Structure 1
Amino acid sequence: MSAPDPYERVEAVLTLDVPPGQSPIRLDVYVTEKTANATRSKVQRGIKDGRVDVNGKTAKKPSMLLQPGDHVECRVIKMAPIEVVPEDIPLDVVYEDDVLIVVNKPAGMVVHPAYGHPSGTLVNALLWHVGGDPIRADDLEDADDDDVGLSTSTAGPRFEGDPTVRPGLVHRLDKDTTGLMVATKTDTAAAILGKQFAERTIRRRYLALVWGVLDPEEGRVESWLGRSPRDRRVMSVRPEGEGKWAATRYQTVEAFRDMTLARFQLETGRTHQIRVHASSMGHPVFGDATYKGDRIVYGSAVGTRKAFIHNLLKAHPRQALHAHTLGFTHPATGQDMDFEAPLPADTAHLVERIRTIEGA
């Protein structure tokens, strides 16, 4: 099977029907909300280029108001399906048996192929590790776990136009978040672990260096999380009922003068959840450029301290967030299993420097 050019582009038609009860809404806003990986500026450009029809007629203005029952067709340019191929990438395997594998993901590793990074991911490494065959979305219907080496039942595209598949994955971590992940080798294991994630019985704790001193020292934060209306690549706290409900528990592990090493426990598993909740409390994760943790938030911002912090940010140019523990009920044996991964060397050094120079 030959791998296609991962950046090959094809035209596809995306159809949208405005549901009953929908309040009048701008065409560009509605299409942006309903289209994955779209920005409002790109949607507006597509409308002006004549790529969007409403009720069989080409739309002329992005500001056109849609009504319930309107039928929208968008001629979009998308990537051709990516063939996910095995790649010889080293893995830090914490545990492995016939049905699952637990790994300690390093910083900088994307979990699965997608736009902009069709290779070099954890999935590519896992396929190599288990001796699996390459796979594309078109292959899923006839895929066999024994050939792929990883579960495929939940590996399919998540939305129309999604170019990739995610064999073995039942959860994910952000590219620059380190720590423990579990992947499955069989569809049965994927279903059982997937249910544990859905029912929130998975035990997940993270360590993070955050700006400021947490007050109170421990607590719980909950909110609705959704895409930011200004930038769909960023998550934000949304009004009640908008997006998805999320809850996170936090606890101070060690307080410094202007930072805290904190433990976070997920009750839900939303995109960027800890990072958004920490930022919403006024304590963004150190080094998190997306949520304004890559600058001096607390303490002096002049002189030697400014130089000290900037040197730390240069040495640790990512969010200081680590999936420290992971626990679940084994899908085959029913045994409770718990794993722990220490802070990676760069984050451990970061914390030690803060402790030495800015200890409470």
Structure 2
Amino acid sequence: MRDPDSEAGHGLKALEAGADAAGLRLDQWLAAALGPDFSRNRVQALIRQGAVTVNGATVNELKRKMAKGDRAEVVIPEPEPAEPRGEAIALDILYEDDELIVINKPAGLVVHPGAGNWTGTLVNALIHHCGDSLSGIGGVKRPGIVHRLDKDTSGVMVVAKTDRAHKSLSDAFADHGASGELERAYLALVWNIPARVTGIIDAPLGRAADRVRRAVVPAGRGDARHAVTHYTVLERYGETAADAVKAALVECRLETGRTHQIRVHMAHISHPVIGDPDYGQAFRTKANRLPEPLQGLVRGLSRQALHAGLLGFCHPTTGEPMRLTAPMPLDMAEIVEGFRRL
């Protein structure tokens, strides 16, 4: 149980094991006893750092079994400054409170710093915007990225500001919405018109030959990951036999969340996302048969026409259902309007 006199946040926390703790691993018991502000990963890191004592002795063993009456003390350090630096990058904020922030990510914005993109990322922007409201994810004052959008995919993203929110949202995304608490819908402009108004693409994904892209692979392959996408055709363009080019506006809903999932799955059924540089190359010349100004809009599209239009989840502290939407960005909207005028 938690000692009511222990401090919140950083400092020293003293706890005593009750009868229900008997036989539990130290890291398992501490994660539950410290509450939702502390993820199990963070508890394990504190144990490894020598920040935990049991009955006065420092314990580094995660699997140490607890007994009724054991007294533990945990030294919680202040969150360290985030390694990436904050940058004043404009954000389109859809919702924000003390626990989380939801943004409409523009196409072209990388989510997390990495090779070739150490600055100018969403994380840099969030560190600057959130400032001291970041209480620390895993002991570091940084935003908690629980899901990502490709650099050139726009739309709704939720980011945690506290360990408690990070753990709750991570769990929701980890089970891919199996609990019913997660809803993700994307708008995609695709080449050709699917034969069925609705469909399910159930095809495992793994690494392609170049190790950057993904591909549909046999289910028995070592890196194969279960992947399911549900699609619904919203609009059809160029339906008659005389039309040289056919396309469709499709809503895709994710049952799983794999890297490049929608892009690979739609290409797999011969409906690649328009503008996709990785999975739609074979369809690039289709734009040449479109009339102007639509041809120019499609050829000038510098990214895949894919937008995360809706994200639904339960708030990590209130449990309130949240449903955030972002309108179709201008580059996609102009192409849609051009197809409608065909």
TM-score, normalised to structure 2, is 0.68
- In 1: Cα distance, 2:309 partner to 2:136 partner: 25
Map of 1:1-360 to 2, 5 A cutoff?
Answer: 83-132=83-132, 149=134, 151-153=136-138, 167-201=143-177, 202-229=182-209, 231-242=210-221, 243-257=224-238, 258-292=246-280, 295-296=283-284, 301-302=288-289, 305=290, 310-357=295-342
Equivalent AA in structure 2 for residue 86 of structure 1: G
SS in 1 for 2:185: strand
What is the distance in 2 between the residues matched to 1:213 and 1:297?
A: 17
Residues 1:153 and 1:294: Cα distance change in structure 2 (over 3 Å): farther
Give the distance between the partners of 2:247 and 2:139, measured in 1 at CA. Answer: 40
Tell me how far apart the structure 1 counterparts of residues 187 and 204 of structure 2 sit (CA, whole Å). Answer: 23
Counterpart amino acid of residue 252 in structure 1: V
The 1:209/1:294 distance shift into structure 2, 3 A limit, reads farther
In the aligned structure 2, how far is the partner of 1:154 from the partner of 1:218?
45
Check the 8 A contact 1:150/1:167 in 2, yes or no.
no
Cα offset for 1:314? Answer: 3.4
Separation (CA, whole Å) in 2 of partners of 1:154 and 1:326: 28
8 A Cα contact 1:286 1:294, kept in partner: no
Count of aligned positions:
248
Query: How far apart in 1 are the matches of 2:226 and 2:105?
Result: 27
State, as a whole percentage, how many aligned pairs show the same letter: 46
Q: Which amino acid aligns with 2:119?
A: S
Max Rg structure: 2
Shift of 1:308: 5.5
For the 8 Å contact 2:294–2:338, the answer to whether it is kept is no
Which one-letter code corresponds to 2:228 in the other structure? A
SS of equivalent to 1:175: coil
Q: Give the letter aligned to residue 215 of structure 2.
A: S
**8 Å CA contact 2:190, 2:249 repeated in 1:** yes
Q: CA deviation at 1:91?
A: 0.2
Does the 8 Å contact 1:296/1:309 carry over to 2?
Answer: no
Question: Where do 5+ consecutive residues of structure 2 fail to align?
Answer: 1-81, 239-245
CA drift of 1:317 comes to 1.6
- CA distance in 2 between counterparts of 1:245 and 1:150 reads 35
Take 1:151 and 1:293, find their aligned partners in 2: how far apart are those partners? 42
Q: Distance in 1 between matches of 2:87 and 2:233?
A: 40
Q: Structure 1 pair 284/297, CA: closer, same or farther in 2 (3 Å)?
A: farther
SS of corresponding position for 2:341: helix
- 1:115, 1:309 → 2: CA distance? 36
Q: Specify whether residues 151 and 279 from structure 1 end up closer, same or farther in structure 2 by C-alpha distance, changes over 3 A only.
A: farther
Structure 1 segments (4+ residues) deviating >6 Å? none
Q: Determine if contact 2:288/2:295 at 8 Å carries over to the other structure.
A: no
* CA spacing shift, 1:228–1:122, aligned 2, 3 Å: same
Q: Let me know the Cα RMSD of the aligned residues.
A: 2.2
Change (3 A) 1:350 1:150: farther
Equivalents in 2 of 1:154, 1:349: separation in Å?
Answer: 45
TM-score, normalization by structure 1: 0.65
Q: Secondary structure at the match of 2:184?
A: strand
The answer to whether the 8 Å contact 1:127/1:150 transfers is: no
Residue 238 to residue 331, structure 1, CA distance change in 2 (3 Å): same
Shift of 1:354: 1.2
Distance across 1 between alignment mates of 2:139 and 2:232 = 34
Instruction: Report what 1:20 is aligned to.
Output: none
